[in-house]
């Protein structure tokens, strides 16, 4: 396809959007006590309404794709336009000005799973799956964490055993977002228990509707169920759905994890600075110097994180491989969310735990209860600190079961 100028592409996109979507209305000024009282990090979703929203989202992606705007930087042989990534960024900027169905359903699939399939998948399978993902015909999810292997992902125990041209999967995954509406999933399994834990893993693309796959909602302490447990009982996967080489699944996992941290660490802080600022005013603390200082620390860190996220995401969209900077972005996000949580708790006091019906008070409990999940999702804070310490600062690797301990020659448990 002949490359068109950015100006001509802009005109094409504006024509498409104006014919198929409604421009967003100007945002109204936030007024304390008015509008939805929902500052939580995780939306409580009605799954019946969610199914309707998913169908609307799929219809929009199909319309985009069929107009040549669904995979702008993708290869032409797979239905993409083959244009530079600057064109994709321009489309995103223009689309942001229109009311469109919620595209969050595709965040994990297109942001994490699709790049991994493109990098490590069988060419024939990738050629079949990727166009369908970008068209919205199928939705993808990520199946990594297990009850006994979250932050230490390489300790996972779900097994995949070869049986001719197929693999048989048995085990459990947990904290899987979107598993209940996904069509495919990227799963990492243990294929050789005799090898060191990072070397005995293999990645697969699995059919989430296959016999033996059981998805169960996972209730959180907020009362919602944004995640799932997924059980695999003799689930068969063709060998050509393997990602990368056998026992080289850790390399596959890292591709996904870096993209995951990039998406999580994009700079969002949940309840919003405006809401927090208006809370300070509502409770008469706008002239308190310590409160003002605390508020500005949150604001400054939010802005810095936003700029940092823009820079790192620009590098990713330019085709550069995500690195440790994604860990820094995600860690900065959770640190600022903790600042917000602490400030809200100090201002609201008992109002945070006792529902008096007062607007803008007890509703923040969902935010506070969501913080622990955010400090774990995409790699726990502790793991991210280790990554930065070892890969950026060059500090010695933390001792573990797969490393040499500096204390190995010391006797343990001897009596004196």
Output the CA angle 77-80-81, nearest 5 degrees: 110
Q: Are 194 and 107 a contacting pair, CB within 8 Å?
A: no
In this structure, the number of other CB atoms found within 10 A of the CB of residue 271 comes to 21
In this structure, the number of other CB atoms found within 10 A of the CB of residue 23 comes to 10
Helices (H), 73-122: 85-95, 107-108, 114-120
Q: Looking at the domain 42-138, which fold is it?
A: Butyryl-Coa Dehydrogenase, subunit A; domain 1 (1.10.540)
Coil vs helix vs strand at 11 = helix
Nearest-CA neighbor of 75 among 123, 136, 31? 123
**Domain definitions of the chain by residue range:** 42-138, 141-247, 265-392
Largest interatomic CA distance in the chain:
83
Q: Identify the H or E element spanning 308.
A: helix 289-317
Coil vs helix vs strand at 220 = coil
User: From CA 344, how far away is CA 364, in angstroms rounded?
Assistant: 8
User: From CA 409, how far away is CA 416, in angstroms rounded?
Assistant: 18
In this structure, the number of other CB atoms found within 10 A of the CB of residue 311 comes to 11
Nearest-CA neighbor of 83 among 27, 24, 23, 6? 6
Per-residue pLDDT of the chain (416 residues; tens, 9 = 90+): 557 999 999 999 999 999 999 999 887 788 898 888 888 777 777 788 999 999 999 999 999 999 999 999 999 999 899 999 889 989 999 999 999 999 999 999 999 999 999 999 999 999 999 999 999 999 999 999 999 887 678 889 999 999 999 999 999 999 899 999 999 999 999 999 999 888 999 999 999 999 999 999 988 777 777 789 999 999 999 999 999 999 999 999 988 877 665 555 444 444 478 899 999 999 999 999 999 999 999 999 998 888 887 777 676 666 666 667 777 888 888 999 999 999 999 999 999 999 999 999 999 998 998 888 888 877 788 888 888 898 888 899 877 655 544 433 333 333 32
**Residue 63 CB-density burial (10 A; 0-12 exposed, 13-18 middle, 19+ buried):** middle
Q: Looking at the domain 265-392, which fold is it?
A: Butyryl-CoA Dehydrogenase, subunit A; domain 3 (1.20.140)
> Cα dihedral angle (274, 280, 286, 291), rounded to 10 degrees?
-100
| Cα 307 versus chain centre, distance | 19
Q: Are 188 and 252 a contacting pair, CB within 8 Å?
A: yes
Buried b (16+ CB within 10 A) or exposed e, 191-229: beeeeebbebbbbbbbbbeeeebebeebebebebbbbbb
Q: Measured in Å, how far apart are the chain's first and last C-alpha atoms?
A: 79
DSSP string, 178-219: TGGG-SEEEEEEES-TTS-TTTSEEEEEEETTSTTEEEEEE-
Nearest-CA neighbor of 204 among 175, 164, 247, 174? 247
pTM of the model: 0.80
Cite the active site residues. Answer: 260
Q: Identify the H or E element spanning 250.
A: helix 249-264
Q: Which two structure tokens, joined as six digits, stand for 191?
A: 């294929």
- Measured CA to CA in angstroms, residue 230 lies from 104, 110, 186, 246 at distances of 21, 21, 12, 23
Enumerate residues 6+ apart whose C-beta is below 8 A from 344.
271, 276, 279, 352, 364, 367, 368
User: From CA 42, how far away is CA 63, in angstroms rounded?
Assistant: 29
User: From CA 115, how far away is CA 267, in angstroms rounded?
Assistant: 21
Query: Structurally, what CATH architecture does the domain formed by 141-247 represent?
Result: Beta Barrel (2.40)
């Amino acid at each position: 396809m002949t490359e068109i100028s950015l100006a001509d592409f802009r005109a094409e996109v504006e024509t498409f959007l104006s014919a198929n979507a409604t421009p967003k209305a100007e945002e109204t000024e936030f007024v304390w006590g008015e509008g939805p009282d929902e500052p939580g990090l995780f939306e409580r979703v009605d799954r019946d309404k969610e199914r309707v929203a998913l169908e609307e989202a799929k219809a929009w992606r199909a319309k985009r794709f069929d107009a040549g705007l669904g995979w702008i930087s993708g290869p032409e042989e797979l239905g993409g336009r083959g244009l530079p990534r600057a064109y994709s960024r321009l489309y995103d900027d223009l689309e942001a000005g229109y009311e469109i169905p919620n595209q969050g359903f595709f965040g994990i699939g297109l942001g994490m799973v699709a790049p991994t399939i493109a990098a490590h998948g069988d060419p024939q399978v990738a050629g079949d799956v990727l166009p369908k993902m970008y068209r919205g015909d199928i939705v993808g999810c990520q199946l990594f964490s297990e009850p006994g292997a979250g932050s230490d992902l390489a300790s996972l125990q779900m097994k995949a055993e070869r049986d001719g041209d197929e693999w048989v999967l048995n085990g459990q995954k947990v904290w899987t977002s979107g598993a209940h509406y996904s069509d495919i999933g990227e799963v990492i399994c243990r294929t050789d228990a005799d090898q060191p834990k990072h070397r005995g893993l293999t990645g697969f693309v699995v059919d989430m509707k296959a016999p033996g796959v059981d998805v169960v909602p996972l209730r959180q302490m907020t009362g919602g169920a944004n995640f799932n447990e997924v059980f695999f009982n003799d689930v068969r996967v063709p060998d050509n759905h393997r990602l990368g080489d056998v026992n080289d699944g850790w390399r596959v996992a890292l591709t996904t994890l870096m993209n995951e941290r990039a998406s999580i660490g994009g700079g969002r802080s949940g309840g919003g600075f405006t809401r927090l600022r208006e809370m300070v005013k509502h409770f008469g603390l706008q002239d308190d110097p310590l409160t003002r200082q605390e508020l500005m620390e949150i604001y400054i860190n939010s802005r810095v994180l936003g700029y940092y996220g823009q820079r790192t995401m620009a590098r990713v969209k330019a085709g550069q491989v995500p690195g440790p900077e994604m860990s820094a972005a995600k860690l900065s996000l959770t640190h600022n969310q903790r600042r917000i949580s602490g400030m809200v708790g100090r201002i609201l006091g008992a109002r945070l735990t006792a529902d008096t019906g007062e607007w803008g008070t007890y509703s923040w409990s969902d935010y506070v209860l969501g913080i622990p999940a955010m400090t774990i999702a995409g790699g726990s804070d502790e793991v991210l600190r280790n990554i930065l310490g070892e890969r950026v600062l060059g500090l010695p690797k933390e001792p573990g079961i797969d490393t040499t301990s500096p204390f190995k020659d010391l006797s343990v448990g001897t009596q004196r």
